[in-house]
Amino acid sequence: MSVALAVETISRRAYEQLQYTGSAGPMSAIEDPAVLDRWRSECADWRGKYWSFTTDDRGVLRLRPINVAARHATVAAA
């Protein structure tokens, strides 16, 4: 039996900064379908759109799924 893993949700701005440095991207950039299948089965709260590299406690970069917070509509001043 697999255990559901928590998926971090980051701000749109944080995602864009990570994407700029090549440390995050859209799901379509992952070419191995086995990775995506595993994430879908292990991460029930993953929305299936984004990934990032994160550093573990030993300083090793790990590929993991992330969620990106929705953009908030801005109201123009009258």
19 falls within a domain: yes
3 falls within a domain: no
In the chain, how many domains are there?
1
Please tell me the pTM assigned to this model: 0.81
pLDDT at 64 over 70: yes
Q: What are phi and psi of 63, to 5 degrees?
A: -85, 130
pLDDT recorded at residue 5: 76
25 falls within a domain: yes
Using CA atoms, how far apart are residues 65 and 26, in angstroms rounded to an integer?
10
77 falls within a domain: no
pLDDT band at 70 (very low <50, low <70, confident <90, very high): confident
Q: Which residues, including other chains, have CB under 8 Å from residue 61's CB and lie 6 or more apart?
A: 53, 54, 55
Q: What are phi and psi of 55, to 5 degrees?
A: -95, 130
pLDDT digits (tens, 9 = 90+) for 2-43: 566 789 999 999 999 999 999 999 999 999 999 999 999 999
74 falls within a domain: no
Name the DSSP class of 77: P
